[in-house]
Amino acid sequence: MTDDQRNTGISQLPKRICSGRDGWLAYLFMVLWLAPITIVAVTNKGFPYKILTGIGVPYSVSREVLNFANNMYRISCLFPDRISRWGNYYYLVRRDGERNWISVPEEDLARLKPFGYRSRLKRMLDGIGNDEAAQARRQAMAEFIKRRYESLHPGEPGVTAVRLVRAVYLTGSEEIAKPEGRWQRPPFADVEKDRLELISTHSFTGGGG
């Protein structure tokens, strides 16, 4: 050992880091958190109860402990990346005998917002996806919008078509931070046309009213 090593204690550094209480805490962190959360994130599955029941832990205790642990691991894996785009959805209807599209206020269709500032309709559209059943889900949503609009406007021309439209903003852009204060969905008429994406159009024969 050189004089510099003896004076600075460099040769003792690995031993100091890996011994005593700090070493045990690092070991517990790896075993109880880092390794499990990595496994849950990669496999997208929770740990089965037999891990504990196999060593004699009662099933009821195993269920409670692993349910709690799996929930904690999954919550930690919710946001591995930040979103790059934010979408607002707009719901347009065309009435019988008319050519213009009318933007229906989202509050008329989904008053509750159980997902922060997102309504149930936005949450559903975010999760519809693009598989074979996606169009059927959007058709069911369009039928709901038609019925809801007609129930709120009795005596008026019935709905013959529904459009689902999305306005897309890049997160971090100046536009998404305006207006200042509490988040508000911009009115459809104020959205720049180049931001709009037509998701689907659904036609109906005739209409109530």
Q: Which pLDDT tens digit goes with each residue over 15-68?
A: 555 567 778 888 888 887 777 777 777 777 777 777 878 888 888 888 888 888
Quick one: 62 and 102 in the same domain? Answer: no
The number of domains in the chain is 2
39 and 108 share one domain: no
For strands 102-104 and 85-95, give the pairing: antiparallel
Tell whether 162 and 199 lie within a shared domain: yes
CA-based nearest residue to 93, from 137, 134, 128, 142: 142
Domain presence at residue 169: yes
Tokens linked to 26:
């690092």
pLDDT of residue 25: 84
Question: What digits encode the pLDDT tens for the residues 77-121?
Answer: 666 667 777 788 999 999 999 999 999 998 888 877 665 666 788
Which is more confidently placed, 134 or 20?
134
- Indicate if 72 and 98 belong to the same structural domain: no
- Do 90 and 185 contact (CB within 8 A), yes or no? no
Q: Which region, left, alpha or beta, applies to residue 73 given φ > 0 means left and ψ of -120 to 50 means alpha?
A: alpha
pLDDT digits (tens, 9 = 90+) for 151-177: 999 999 999 999 999 998 887 777 676
For residue 179, the model assigns a pLDDT of 62
Residue 145, classified by CB atoms within 10 Å of its CB into exposed (0-12), middle (13-18) or buried (19+), is: buried
Residue 209 lies in a domain: no
Say yes or no: 28 and 92 in one domain: no
The pLDDT value recorded for residue 113 is 65
Residue 206 has what pLDDT? 62
Give the residue-averaged pLDDT of 134-146.
93
- Model-level pTM? 0.59
Chain-centroid distance, C-alpha 94: 30
Q: Strand, coil or helix: what is 161? A: strand
Comparing C-alpha atoms, which of 151, 155, 149, 156 is closest to residue 202? 149
Copy the structure tokens of residue 59.
Answer: 């099933």
The answer to whether residues 128 and 191 belong to one domain is yes
Residue 37 belongs to what domain range? Answer: 3-76
95 & 188 share domain = yes
Under 8 Å CB-to-CB from 48, ≥6 apart: which residues? 66
Angle between helices 120-128 and 134-152 (to 10 degrees): 160
Which band of pLDDT confidence, cut at 50, 70 and 90, is reported for residue 10?
Answer: very low
The number of angstroms, rounded, from the C-alpha of 43 to the middle of its chain's C-alpha atoms is: 20
The verdict on residue 59 lying in a domain is yes
208, part of any domain: no
Position 74 pLDDT exceeds 90? no
User: Which of 51, 76, 101 is the endpoint of a domain?
Assistant: 76
Res 114: pLDDT: 61
Residue 196 sits in the same domain as residue 125: yes
